[in-house]
Amino acid sequence: MNPEVRERLLQATYDCVARWGLAKTTVEDAARQAGVSRATVYRYFPGGRDELISAVVGWEFARFFLRLYEEVSDAEGLEEVMERGIVFAHHALVEHEVLQRILVTEPEILLPRLTTEAEGTHTLVAAFLAPYLVRHGMAEGTDLDIAADFLARMVLSYISSPGRWDLDDPEQVALLVRSELLAGIR
Protein backbone atom coordinates (compact mmCIF):
# COMPACT_ATOMS: atom_id res chain seq x y z
CA MET A 1 0.00 0.00 0.00
CA ASN A 2 1.11 3.48 -0.82
CA PRO A 3 1.74 5.67 2.28
CA GLU A 4 1.01 8.84 0.27
CA VAL A 5 -2.48 7.56 -0.60
CA ARG A 6 -3.13 6.70 3.05
CA GLU A 7 -1.98 10.17 4.12
CA ARG A 8 -4.17 11.76 1.44
CA LEU A 9 -7.16 9.77 2.68
CA LEU A 10 -6.55 10.84 6.27
CA GLN A 11 -6.22 14.50 5.29
CA ALA A 12 -9.30 14.29 3.07
CA THR A 13 -11.37 12.73 5.85
CA TYR A 14 -10.15 15.37 8.30
CA ASP A 15 -11.16 18.08 5.81
CA CYS A 16 -14.60 16.51 5.38
CA VAL A 17 -15.15 16.33 9.14
CA ALA A 18 -14.09 19.97 9.39
CA ARG A 19 -16.62 20.90 6.71
CA TRP A 20 -19.61 18.69 7.55
CA GLY A 21 -18.97 17.20 11.00
CA LEU A 22 -18.44 13.63 12.14
CA ALA A 23 -22.00 12.37 11.65
CA LYS A 24 -22.30 13.60 8.08
CA THR A 25 -18.88 12.53 6.82
CA THR A 26 -19.11 9.38 4.70
CA VAL A 27 -16.60 7.07 3.04
CA GLU A 28 -17.82 8.46 -0.28
CA ASP A 29 -17.05 12.02 0.86
CA ALA A 30 -13.53 11.05 1.91
CA ALA A 31 -12.91 9.19 -1.37
CA ARG A 32 -14.14 12.11 -3.45
CA GLN A 33 -12.08 14.62 -1.45
CA ALA A 34 -8.95 12.42 -1.80
CA GLY A 35 -9.54 11.80 -5.50
CA VAL A 36 -9.73 8.02 -5.12
CA SER A 37 -12.42 5.39 -5.51
CA ARG A 38 -14.56 4.13 -2.67
CA ALA A 39 -12.92 0.72 -3.14
CA THR A 40 -9.52 2.32 -2.48
CA VAL A 41 -10.76 3.65 0.84
CA TYR A 42 -11.89 0.15 1.82
CA ARG A 43 -8.54 -1.32 0.73
CA TYR A 44 -6.79 0.98 3.18
CA PHE A 45 -9.50 0.89 5.83
CA PRO A 46 -11.34 -2.45 5.58
CA GLY A 47 -13.43 -1.57 8.65
CA GLY A 48 -15.02 1.24 6.68
CA ARG A 49 -16.07 4.55 8.14
CA ASP A 50 -15.44 3.63 11.79
CA GLU A 51 -11.90 2.49 11.06
CA LEU A 52 -11.28 5.55 8.89
CA ILE A 53 -12.51 7.96 11.59
CA SER A 54 -10.43 6.16 14.25
CA ALA A 55 -7.38 6.38 11.98
CA VAL A 56 -7.95 10.12 11.52
CA VAL A 57 -8.16 10.58 15.30
CA GLY A 58 -4.88 8.66 15.71
CA TRP A 59 -3.29 10.62 12.87
CA GLU A 60 -4.29 13.92 14.46
CA PHE A 61 -2.95 12.74 17.84
CA ALA A 62 0.37 11.89 16.21
CA ARG A 63 0.52 15.31 14.56
CA PHE A 64 -0.28 16.97 17.90
CA PHE A 65 2.48 15.09 19.73
CA LEU A 66 4.99 15.90 17.01
CA ARG A 67 4.19 19.60 17.34
CA LEU A 68 4.31 19.31 21.15
CA TYR A 69 7.71 17.64 20.98
CA GLU A 70 8.98 20.40 18.70
CA GLU A 71 7.67 22.98 21.17
CA VAL A 72 9.47 21.53 24.21
CA SER A 73 12.48 19.70 22.75
CA ASP A 74 14.97 22.45 23.58
CA ALA A 75 13.63 23.11 27.10
CA GLU A 76 16.30 23.44 29.78
CA GLY A 77 14.53 21.61 32.59
CA LEU A 78 11.42 19.68 33.55
CA GLU A 79 9.65 22.82 34.75
CA GLU A 80 10.11 24.46 31.35
CA VAL A 81 8.98 21.29 29.55
CA MET A 82 5.80 21.24 31.63
CA GLU A 83 5.12 24.97 31.36
CA ARG A 84 5.63 25.19 27.62
CA GLY A 85 3.79 21.91 27.07
CA ILE A 86 0.72 22.98 29.05
CA VAL A 87 0.49 26.36 27.32
CA PHE A 88 0.95 24.71 23.91
CA ALA A 89 -1.62 21.98 24.60
CA HIS A 90 -4.14 24.46 25.98
CA HIS A 91 -3.85 26.66 22.89
CA ALA A 92 -3.91 23.66 20.55
CA LEU A 93 -7.17 22.49 22.14
CA VAL A 94 -8.84 25.90 22.19
CA GLU A 95 -7.72 26.77 18.65
CA HIS A 96 -8.43 23.38 17.06
CA GLU A 97 -11.18 24.28 14.61
CA VAL A 98 -12.43 20.75 14.01
CA LEU A 99 -12.50 19.78 17.68
CA GLN A 100 -14.26 23.00 18.66
CA ARG A 101 -16.80 22.62 15.84
CA ILE A 102 -17.62 19.06 16.87
CA LEU A 103 -17.86 20.00 20.55
CA VAL A 104 -20.51 22.56 19.60
CA THR A 105 -22.39 20.69 16.87
CA GLU A 106 -21.99 17.01 17.82
CA PRO A 107 -20.97 16.65 21.47
CA GLU A 108 -22.96 13.41 21.73
CA ILE A 109 -20.59 11.82 19.21
CA LEU A 110 -17.31 13.26 20.44
CA LEU A 111 -17.68 13.20 24.23
CA PRO A 112 -18.11 9.41 24.51
CA ARG A 113 -14.96 8.96 22.40
CA LEU A 114 -13.04 11.31 24.67
CA THR A 115 -14.15 9.52 27.80
CA THR A 116 -13.89 5.92 26.58
CA GLU A 117 -10.60 6.58 24.79
CA ALA A 118 -9.18 8.80 27.54
CA GLU A 119 -7.02 5.97 28.83
CA GLY A 120 -5.25 5.87 25.47
CA THR A 121 -4.64 9.60 25.63
CA HIS A 122 -3.41 9.33 29.20
CA THR A 123 -1.01 6.54 28.19
CA LEU A 124 0.36 8.64 25.32
CA VAL A 125 0.93 11.65 27.59
CA ALA A 126 2.61 9.53 30.28
CA ALA A 127 4.90 7.95 27.66
CA PHE A 128 5.69 11.41 26.30
CA LEU A 129 6.60 12.73 29.77
CA ALA A 130 8.66 9.76 30.97
CA PRO A 131 11.91 10.60 29.12
CA TYR A 132 11.72 14.19 30.36
CA LEU A 133 11.29 12.95 33.93
CA VAL A 134 14.37 10.75 33.55
CA ARG A 135 16.44 13.45 31.83
CA HIS A 136 15.42 16.40 34.00
CA GLY A 137 15.22 14.76 37.39
CA MET A 138 12.90 13.45 40.01
CA ALA A 139 13.37 13.03 43.72
CA GLU A 140 15.47 10.02 44.61
CA GLY A 141 13.29 6.96 45.07
CA THR A 142 10.46 8.31 42.92
CA ASP A 143 8.97 5.61 40.70
CA LEU A 144 9.07 6.73 37.05
CA ASP A 145 5.84 5.01 36.03
CA ILE A 146 3.92 6.42 38.99
CA ALA A 147 5.30 9.93 38.42
CA ALA A 148 4.54 9.84 34.68
CA ASP A 149 1.04 8.50 35.39
CA PHE A 150 0.38 11.21 37.98
CA LEU A 151 1.63 14.03 35.75
CA ALA A 152 -0.28 12.78 32.71
CA ARG A 153 -3.55 12.60 34.63
CA MET A 154 -3.04 16.01 36.20
CA VAL A 155 -1.96 17.72 32.98
CA LEU A 156 -4.95 16.32 31.08
CA SER A 157 -7.24 17.37 33.89
CA TYR A 158 -5.94 20.94 34.01
CA ILE A 159 -5.87 21.34 30.23
CA SER A 160 -9.49 20.27 29.90
CA SER A 161 -10.69 22.05 33.05
CA PRO A 162 -8.18 24.62 34.35
CA GLY A 163 -10.31 25.79 37.25
CA ARG A 164 -8.77 28.86 38.86
CA TRP A 165 -5.65 28.74 36.67
CA ASP A 166 -5.34 31.00 33.63
CA LEU A 167 -3.47 28.79 31.16
CA ASP A 168 -2.89 31.79 28.89
CA ASP A 169 -0.77 33.42 31.60
CA PRO A 170 2.78 31.99 31.68
CA GLU A 171 3.28 33.12 35.28
CA GLN A 172 0.17 31.24 36.43
CA VAL A 173 1.22 28.16 34.48
CA ALA A 174 4.68 28.31 36.08
CA LEU A 175 3.07 28.52 39.53
CA LEU A 176 0.74 25.62 38.72
CA VAL A 177 3.66 23.48 37.55
CA ARG A 178 5.87 24.22 40.54
CA SER A 179 3.28 24.32 43.34
CA GLU A 180 0.95 21.52 42.29
CA LEU A 181 2.26 19.32 39.50
CA LEU A 182 5.92 18.84 40.33
CA ALA A 183 5.74 19.33 44.08
CA GLY A 184 4.93 15.69 44.66
CA ILE A 185 7.76 14.22 42.61
CA ARG A 186 10.61 16.59 43.39
Domain ranges of the chain: 1-58, 74-186
Which runs of consecutive H residues, i.e. helices, occur in the chain?
Answer: 3-20, 27-34, 38-44, 49-72, 78-95, 97-105, 107-116, 118-136, 144-160, 170-176
pLDDT of residue 109: 65
The whole-model pTM stands at 0.80
Residue 170, pLDDT score: 93
- Average confidence (pLDDT) per 10 residues, the chain, 186 residues: 94 93 92 97 96 88 89 89 93 84 72 62 87 83 91 87 92 95 81
pLDDT score of 172: 96
Burial class (CB in 10 A: 0-12, 13-18, 19+), 133: buried
The pLDDT value given to residue 173: 97
Please identify, in words, the CATH class of the domain defined by 1-58.
mainly alpha
CA distances (Å), 73 to each of 40, 173, 174, in order?
38, 18, 18
